[in-house]
Amino acid sequence: MRNRLSGQRVLVTGGAGGVGRETAARMLDAGAKVVSADIPGADRHAESTITFAGDLARQDELERLFALVDDELGGLDILVACAGLPADSLMNISDAGWRQAIDANLVSYVGCAKKAIERIRESGRKEGQVILVGSISVHIKAVGESVYNASKGGVALFAETLRKEMIPEKIRVTLIEPGAIATHLQPFSDRRLQEFEEKLEMLPAGEVAEGILFAATRPPGVDVVTLRIEPLVQKSSSKARKSAREARFEFGISNRQAGSQRGGEGTGSLPPGWLFAVCGNVCQSVRTGRVDPKPRLLGFQSLT
């Protein structure tokens, strides 16, 4: 393991989340120097990484990130893009919400890939790699995931087309498609996430990171095109949604609490489009964009 990536310069987006953090830690252990980027307030980065906080769907923030990459790494060899947000279905999400999901899950990937390839070209090395983390949700096509699948489907098509475009330059592009992962993007307590792992219904984040590392450590000329990783017992969409609904009560969020946290009285259900993405120790509302440093569950997401 050690020194397989010696001298390699790596950027990991979504670096404070479960998969990003595990990936960055493995890259460091393999000898790479790593910049780990995530949204402001997300601070559970792998130890010894160079960290960055910003919204990578914004061009000014993207420029600021890659200025840091240039200053700290002197260039780039590998991009691992695994930032992202869940989203409610199209007719149950605000206009600001669906735009934010597309920005996080697709626009940031395109922007980072372009900047990364520019630096790989400038490095003068004979190889480089872009690794994009998608989702098996694009194959399941579950009801309720129209917006999420629009973004992750875009990532899948982008990855394969970009891969073909980069072949003449010997720059590899890999798509990683994980199933349900036991991280805090899922609306469950640590205890329940552990139970899902033990039942083989969710993947440990480290296993997805191992897949990413496998792709990153193949010799030049060996292209891991698409790597689909699922738990042995990948839940169906209907069961996943039922478990997500039950998670609300597991976290002890009453209707009245939920109402007061959105500025009104509880009405028996949460409003359409109210969904929180939990990234490490940060909650970000897909509806409002507000970042709250205290994690709590205010909505649901599918496990797929």
Instruction: Tell me what the pLDDT averaged over the chain comes to.
Output: 80
- Percentage of residues of the chain with pLDDT beyond 90: 59
Dihedrals φ, ψ of 91, to 5°?
-85, 5
Dihedrals φ, ψ of 59, to 5°?
-65, -40
Residue 1's pLDDT is 53
Residue 278's pLDDT is 36
For the chain, the DSSP string reads: -TTTTTT-EEEEETTTSHHHHHHHHHHHHTT-EEEEEE-TT---PPTT-EEEES-TTSHHHHHHHHHHHHHHHSS-SEEEE--------GGGS-HHHHHHHHIIIIIHHHHHHHHHHHHHHHH--S-EEEEEE--THHHH--TT-HHHHHHHHHHHHHHHHHHHHHGGGTEEEEEEEE--B-STTSSS-HHHHHHHHHTTSSB-HHHHHHHHHHHHTSPTT----EEEE--TTPPPHHHHHHHHHHHHHHTT--HHHHHHHTTS---SSPPTT--EEEETTEEEETTT--EESS----S-----
pLDDT value at 290 more than 70: no
- Give mean pLDDT, residues 250-279: 36
Domains of the chain: 9-229 (3.40.50.720), 239-292 (no CATH)
Residues 107-158: tens digit of each pLDDT: 999 999 999 999 999 987 778 999 999 999 899 898 999 999 999 999 999 9
Residue 194's pLDDT is 82
Residue 123's pLDDT is 86
**pLDDT band, residue 247 (cuts 50/70/90):** very low
**Is 0.95 surpassed by the pTM of this model?**
no
**pLDDT band, residue 2 (cuts 50/70/90):** low
**Residue 114 CB contacts under 8 Å (≥ 6 apart), including other chains:** none
- Give mean pLDDT, residues 7-20: 95
Q: Which of 166, 158, 136 is nearest to 149 (CA)?
A: 136
Higher pLDDT, 16 or 255: 16
